[in-house]
Amino acid sequence: MLHLYSRLLKTINNRLKAMRSLFKSLEIRYKFLVSFSIVFFLSMLLCSLFIYVFVRNNIETSIESELNNTTQMIFNLVKTSVTVSIKNHLRAVAEKNEEIVRSLYNQALDNRISEAEAKERASELMLCQTIGTSGYIYGVNSNGMVVVHPQPTLIGSNVAHHDFVSRQMRSPQGYLEYEWKNPGETVPRPKALYMVYFEPWDWIISASAYRTEFTKLVNVEDFRKSILSLKFGKTGYSFVIDSRGTAVIHPKLQGINIFDAEELPNKYLEDMMKRKKGKSVYYWKNPDEPKARQKMVMFNYIDEYQWIVASSCYLDEFYSPLDTIRNFIFGVSIAFFLLMLAITFKISSSITNPLRELMGRFDCVREGDFTARMKNDSTGEVGQLVVYFNRFMDRLETYHQSLQNQIQERRIAQEAQRKSQERYFLLMEAAADPIVTYDMKGNVIYINPAFTRVFGWSLEECVGKRMGHYVPEDNWNETKIMINQVISGNAINNVETRRYSKQGHTVDVSISGAITRDRKGNPSGSIIILRDITKSKQLEKQLIHVGDRERRKIGQDLHDDLCPHLIGIAGLATVLKGDLAVQGHAGEGLADKILVLIEDAIGKARSLARGLCPVHLVSHGLQASLEEIADTLGHASGIKFRFDVDKTVVFQDNSVATHLYYIAREAVTNAVKHSDAGRIELCLSRENELIHMCIKDNGRGIKNTGVQHGMGLQIMAYRAKIIDARFDIETGQNGTMVHVYIKNTLSNAQKEEIV
């Protein structure tokens, strides 16, 4: 089943695709026609369906309402007629017995018989009468005592507790209906009585009988004409059928038992007998009609007489207006379709004819004729299309000429670019500095021979790959900054850093670079020039070492030669001052000033000697020199210093310690002068294979840390590069931290001794 369903869906899908393909291949006029036809017929179908359903529902509602009202009217008419017949019959019996009782009463008054004999004879006459099958005559007095009854045991008993007796006692004259259940019966049955009051004996004479036993008393002729006169449509009618299937009132089947007539359908009558009340729609063929017609019947059941009263009509007689509406809609649809067909072809021709002409002009353009134009005879959309076509051709002709010129210019430019690129690659090939070009993803596009000569990697080893492996780990932070700067469009110039060679050696380089762009001006990659400055750095270090030696020599000369010399002069000045004081010479004050100036010169010479060659650094090491900085500047500025150094940190190269000393002094001096700090921390510690020196303050921080403008910061960074240290600055609202990281240069023996 699932397989068949799948095949059906596939078939439907293929048919829809074929229809869509066929629709696309149609001309515009036929597309208009098909589209309008579908929309028109769907609209007419929906409108017709709505009108049909609306009218049909109204007709059905009207029919049901009329049939239902008529059936209820017949139901009430029959019940009323039956009730009147029963009432009249019972009244006649009751009044007749009242006359008999009055006659016997009069005989008693005339003393022809005694009153007791009169009552006895009256009772006998009343009891010998029957009404229907089980009806009888009885009498009670105004107190509810039974005076006459077919059952002798009840005579003299009080039956006032029965409801209908109470009603008789309250109103002893007239007609009364009630429910009564005899002993041995399961349900009560409807009963009726008519009573008259004989006052002399205080007798309520009642003629009583079950209502169902009075069916034969009903005079059908009283309401036959009224029922048969009711018509619904042309041939619709009302009828009455009893429980045996005999037509009590019927315009064509009067007195015929439908259940016994073989030519008549009886299953619908059986359904009506079973349901008692409701609506039924079925096909019925009358004896004088050629075929059965659909019929609607509204019926009700008179339970007391077991009659079904019904009103019926043939639906085709009521639905005939729908045929008229259908024919009218069909005719209008055909007329509108023919009119729409003519209008569609007219409209489509006004569109397709200019389009065909336009396609012919485009064929001319395809052949290279850019002078094709169209004549405009319309002001509508087609006319606008012609105007746009002519404008398009004007521009196309202009663009064609311009394009020819641009093609010629492009050819000249491409030739010039080709020659320029050849010169460009020849220039990079001949360049003495290593050059690398990258794409936007960081993959290598080209390296020149100088790169292979300096770093050892060939072009084949690098093309299409990243070169992150030749960047030392310590230099990755500054490398990322340079990469982001180039990608953002800013060039980098002569940034000193380090790179690994293929053999694992460290190469000092100065990097310059910029972004490259394609013909449209969009970033396409970057070009990086790495100048090998290893020898320059070595020469620079040698010059620094020579300068440090000369500075220390000058400092030692100041300390060992100039300072003693000045001390000797100060001694002579002291003697001279004493002699002049003894003589009372006026030059004593001048000698005193000379002595003060000489002592100041001695202090300055010592300070210069200490700055050029720190005595503590040489004799006691870096820790003592750093402590001296903290003590001196802390005492002078009043700032609280925290000094924390590792005593085991030892430097084999005194120049390294010297540069660290000057970096620390510059950082502390800047913090004292510019940070408004209340606390400065100076720390020196060992962290794995690195020695970390940190100067931290709680001041206001440094403004604009993106570029180091201050001379002091540049000198500190320069000194750090000289000793191959990493120099970092962290600044913010909570202060500034200066970090210097340098590799631990202790020998293995010293490391074991520390451990």
Q: Torsion angle, CA of 192/198/203/208, rounded to 10 degrees? A: -20
Model pLDDT for residues 198-252, shown as the tens digit of each residue? 999 999 999 998 877 766 666 677 778 888 888 877 778 888 888 788 888 888 8
Rounded CA-CA distance 482/257 in Å is 115
Weakest mean pLDDT among 46-60, 415-429, 591-605 = 415-429
- A 10 A CB-CB count for 73 gives 16
> Are β-strands 640-645 and 679-687 bridged in parallel, bridged antiparallel, or unpaired?
parallel
Average pLDDT over residues 504-532: 85
Position 24 in a domain: no
Rounded distance, CA 506 to CA 475, Å? 11
Rank 106-120, 534-548, 657-671 by mean pLDDT and report only the highest. 106-120
Element (H, E) at 695: strand 690-697
- Of 486, 503, 530, the residue at which a domain comes to its end is 530
Contact between residue 229 and residue 134 where contact means Cβ atoms under 8 Å apart: no
The confidence score (pLDDT) of residue 707 equals 44
> Is residue 545 one of the residues assigned to a domain?
yes
- The string of DSSP letters for 345-369 reads HHHHHHHHHHHHHHHHHHHHHHTT-
Same domain, 621 and 723: yes
Q: Answer yes or no: is pLDDT of 140 > 90.
A: yes
Per-residue model confidence as pLDDT tens digits over 299-353:
888 877 778 888 888 877 777 777 777 777 778 778 777 777 777 777 777 667 7
With tokens 């030519």, the residue in question is 263
> What is the average pLDDT across 113-122?
89
**DSSP H or E run through 488:** none
Phi, psi of 625 (to 5 degrees): -65, -40
> What pLDDT was estimated at residue 584?
77
- Judged against a pLDDT cut of 50, whether residue 755 lies above it is answered with no
- End of a domain among 504, 530, 556? 530
My answer on whether 746 and 671 are in the same domain is: yes
Phi, psi of 435 (to 5 degrees): -130, 135
CA dist., res. 145 & res. 672, Å (int): 136
Are both 481 and 500 inside the same structural domain? yes
Q: Are residues 204 and 224 in the same domain?
A: no
650 and 734 part of one domain: yes
Distance CA 296, CA 293 (A): 10
Contact between 645 and 626 (Cβ < 8 Å):
yes
What is the per-residue DSSP string for 189-226?
EEEEEEEEEEGGGTEEEEEEEEGGGGGGG--THHHHHH
74, two tokens: 């017949």
242-272: pLDDT as tens digits:
878 888 888 888 888 877 776 666 777 778 8
Burial grade of 286 (CB within 10 A; 0-12, 13-18, 19 or more)? middle
Q: Rg of the chain's alpha carbons, rounded to an integer? A: 66
Sign of CA dihedral 331, 337, 343, 349: negative
Q: Report yes or no on 92 lying in a domain.
A: yes
CB 639 within 8 A of CB 679: yes
Q: What domain count does the chain have?
A: 5
* Boundary residue ending a domain (499, 530, 561): 530
Calpha distance 610→613 (Å, rounded): 5
Give dist(CA 224, CA 238) in Å, integer.
10
Mean pLDDT of 578-586: 79
Cα dihedral 263/268/269/275 (nearest 10): 170
Q: Does 410 map to a domain?
A: no
Backbone angles phi, psi at 179, to 5 degrees: -105, 135
Question: Same domain for 200 and 167?
Answer: yes
259 and 292 in one domain?
yes
Q: Quick one: 645 and 724 in the same domain?
A: yes
Expressed as residue numbers, the domain containing 132 is 79-213
Burial 684-704 (b: 16+ CB within 10 A, else e): beeeeeebbbbbbbbbbbbee
727 confidence band (pLDDT: 50, 70, 90): confident
Residue 147 and residue 209 in one domain: yes
Q: Quick one: tokens of 251? A: 């315009």
Enter the tokens of residue 306: 């077991």
Please list the alpha-helical segments (H only) found in 558-650: 563-583, 588-612, 615-619, 622-637
Query: Quick one: 146 and 243 in the same domain?
Result: no
CA 640 – CA 638 distance, rounded (Å)? 7
For residues 494-508, one letter each, b for 16 or more C-beta atoms within 10 angstroms of the residue's C-beta and e for the rest, the string is: eebbbbbeeeeeebb
Residue 607 covered by a domain: yes
The answer to the question of residue 435 being in a domain is yes
Q: Is residue 671 part of a domain?
A: yes
pLDDT reading at 289 higher than 60? yes
| 534-557 and 711-722 helices, crossing angle to 10° | 110
User: How many residues appear in the chain?
Assistant: 755
% helix, strand, coil for the chain, step of 5: 55, 20, 25
Say whether both 621 and 753 belong to one domain: yes
Q: CATH number of the domain that 293 lies in?
A: 3.30.450.20
Closest Cα partner for 497 from 516, 482, 487? 482
CA-CA distances (angstroms) from residue 67 to 64, 127, 306, 718? 5, 47, 20, 116
Residue 516 and residue 538 share a domain: no
In a domain, 147, yes or no: yes
pLDDT for 613 equals 60
pLDDT score of 633 more than 70 = yes
Residue 31 has pLDDT above 50, yes or no: yes
Q: pLDDT tens digits for 692-716?
A: 999 999 888 887 544 445 677 878 8
In angstroms, the first-to-last Cα distance of the chain is: 86
The helix (run of H) or strand (run of E) holding residue 306 is: none
**Helix (H), strand (E) at residue 739:** strand 735-743
752: left (phi over 0), alpha (psi -120 to 50) or beta: alpha
Q: Is the pLDDT of residue 380 over 70?
A: no
Query: What whole-number distance in Å separates Cα of residue 745 and Cα of residue 224?
Result: 137
Pick the more confident residue, 566 or 30: 566
**Helical axes 381-430 vs 320-366, angle rounded to 10°:** 50
Neighbour tally for 722: CB within 10 Å? 17
Q: What pLDDT sits at residue 263?
A: 66
Q: What per-residue confidence (pLDDT) applies to 379?
A: 64
How confident is the prediction for the chain on average, in pLDDT?
Answer: 79
State how far the Cα of 494 lies from the Cα of 529, in Å rounded to an integer: 9
CATH number of the domain to which 697 belongs: 3.30.565.10
As a whole-number percent, the residues of the chain with pLDDT over 70 amount to 86
Does an H or E element contain 278, and which? strand 278-284
Residue of 498 and 371 predicted with greater confidence: 498
Residue 577's pLDDT is 76
Give the model's pLDDT for residue 747.
44
**Cβ atoms within 10 Å of 755's Cβ, excluding its own:** 6
